[in-house]
Amino acid sequence: MARAMPSRIAVCLALALCLPATLRSAPPPPTPEFFEANREKLLAKLPPGSIAVFHARADSPADTRADAYRQDEDFWYLTGLEEPNAVAVLVAGAPKDSRYLLFVQPKDFAAEQWTGWRTGLDGAKKEYRAGQSYGVLEFWSRFPQLAAAAQELYYTTGGDKEFGRRLLETWNANNANVAAPRRAAEAGPALATMRLVKEPVEIAQLREASRLSAEAHRAAMAEVSPGRHEYDLKATMVGLCLSGGAARMAYPPIVASGPNSVILHHERDDRKLENGDVIVNDTACEYGMYAADVTRTYPASGTFSPEQREIYDVVLAAQKAGFAAVKPGASFHEVHDAAVAAVVDGLLRLGILAGNRDEILRMRSYQRLFPHGTSHWLGLNVHDVGSYTFPWGMARLERYGAAQTKLEPGMVLTVEPGIYITEHATADPKWWNIGVRIEDDLLVTSSGMECLSCSAPREREEVEKAVREGQARRPSRPAP
């Protein structure tokens, strides 16, 4: 589980606490051929006589942003260009030299001294294989001619609403005597279908993001002890991920201890770890634009309490049930159904839920303790695009058991069951303030699945061992 990424979190400068990532060969980045193939696939999907326009994500002033610029995923997927203030145009059916055009910022030494080197018009052709390239300020003067013969427009705005408004206005500028506007639609749905099944080069990036995130979780486990703080664990993981080649974290880390463990998206990270706490750590990085999403739960003392142990075992059993359901041809909802059934069975056994099993499943009364879905897509975004195929207008909490998309080799998804018992959620207070989530990243393969992040300890005994070994190696320090 992860939140949408705002500006980059402030990274703790305690680099001495951050363990260096294991040296290894980095996977090669996507080549120009990858982006060219994506453009050709999209052009093949577009109706004859159509034109497609893609806007880069807008930049913010360097003195106001807290993180490095990150390109719009769809724009990057088609071009590979990571600069702001750019527009890509695809013209279906056009000759090769005019089928793909890039409008970019021209070279300007004075500007580049402040904000970095630009690709420029020559680089747009040589490095990014545009058939034609122009200065971005020329787009509005050239677009009417490019679109004059087009029958349909497909577009993305990169989040720039004003660009979208002006694009449609320009598209229809010479349409005053026609009863209806010219046909125009967002290109996102077509790209989402393409992005759902990953190419080998994308899988390599996701595998590295997941591996590095799992390594960071191991490092965090070794830093756990009462008297430390949630931010100590976050600093360790962020430092390791960045030193391992990650461009950024995939989402703001969630490090939630004690009563915070039952808050799914705990935002603060300043609580002191106390003996007896359980810690939910949902932290992962992005590698080469591709996001991982990994969660582990562990005890601050190095040993789960009997009640924490029981809840942990139920969640782990639910995750294993979800794992078993991931295979080609399975419907997306089957993964969630398998995990939910295991959670309900475990909570009934513990007496935390009571009543008829079938009725609990039908009424979804388990959702007060397991309130989220088991899976989501992964890729260029931590909650990546791609259809789940549930009925339009269905309530969010109903969707998880209705998603009909069939799994195919090359799809990547999370499996992340969780149980969160808030105060007064049960009659017996021994269960209160216990939150457990275990999340991993799975690649659907031709024979089943591959877990990309399972090198981080998952079995309860292995988690406890990792924490205790870290405590034994680290000299004790007084609590501040």
User: What is the chain's pLDDT, residue by residue, as a tens digit (480 residues)?
Assistant: 776 544 433 343 333 334 444 456 889 999 999 999 999 999 999 998 999 999 999 887 666 666 788 999 999 999 999 999 999 999 999 999 999 999 999 999 999 998 899 999 999 999 999 999 999 999 999 999 999 999 999 999 999 999 999 999 999 987 665 667 889 999 999 999 999 999 999 999 999 999 999 999 999 999 999 999 999 999 999 999 999 999 999 999 999 999 999 999 998 999 999 999 999 999 999 999 999 999 999 999 999 999 999 999 999 999 999 999 999 999 999 999 999 999 999 999 999 999 999 999 999 999 999 999 999 999 999 999 999 999 888 998 899 999 999 999 999 999 999 999 999 999 999 999 999 999 999 999 999 999 999 999 999 999 999 999 999 987 655 444
The set of residues, in sequence order, having a beta carbon less than 8 Å from that of 82 and lying 6+ positions away, is 69, 71, 76
Compute CA distances 53 → 49, 72, 106, 253, whole Å: 14, 13, 19, 34
- The most distant pair of C-alpha atoms in the chain lies apart, rounded to whole Å, by 80
CATH 3.40.350.10 fits 32-194, yes or no: yes
State the CB neighbour count (10 A cutoff) for residue 183: 13
CA angle 475-268-240, nearest 5°? 50
Instruction: Please list the active-site residues.
Output: 67, 265, 282, 293, 372, 376, 383, 416, 420, 437, 439
How many whole angstroms separate alpha carbon 305 and alpha carbon 72? 45
Contacts 24+ apart (CB under 8 A), 393-401: 397/364, 397/367, 397/371, 398/364, 399/373, 400/333, 400/336, 400/372, 400/373, 400/374, 401/333, 401/336, 401/337, 401/340, 401/364
CA 277/CA 304 separation, integer angstroms: 9
In which residue ranges of the chain is CATH 3.40.350.10 found? Answer: 32-194
CATH 3.90.230.10 fits 199-473, yes or no: yes
Are 279 and 438 spatial neighbours (Cβ–Cβ below 8 Å)? no
Give 66-99 as a DSSP string: SS-----HHHHHHH----SS-EEEEETT--GGGT
Residue 243 Cα to chain centre, angstroms: 20
Residues of the chain with CATH 3.90.230.10: 199-473
16-52 burial code (b ≥16 CB/10 A, e <16):
ebbbebeeeeebeebeeeebbebbeebbebbeeebbb
Q: Give the Cα separation of 469 and 471 in Å (integer).
A: 5
Query: Regarding beta strands 449-451 and 440-444, do their DSSP bridges make them parallel or antiparallel, or are they unpaired?
Result: antiparallel
Nearest to 56 by CA among 90, 81, 28: 81
Distance CA 376, CA 336 (A): 10
Q: Is the dihedral of CA 295, 7, 288, 222 positive or negative?
A: negative
Residue 161: other Cβ atoms inside 10 A = 9
- Return all residues near 180 (Cβ < 8 A) that are at least 6 apart: none
DSSP at 382? T
Side-by-side strand order, sheet with 290-291: 248-249, 285-287, 290-291
CB of 261 within 8 A of CB of 434?
yes
- Would strands 183-186 and 152-156 be described as parallel, antiparallel, or unpaired? parallel
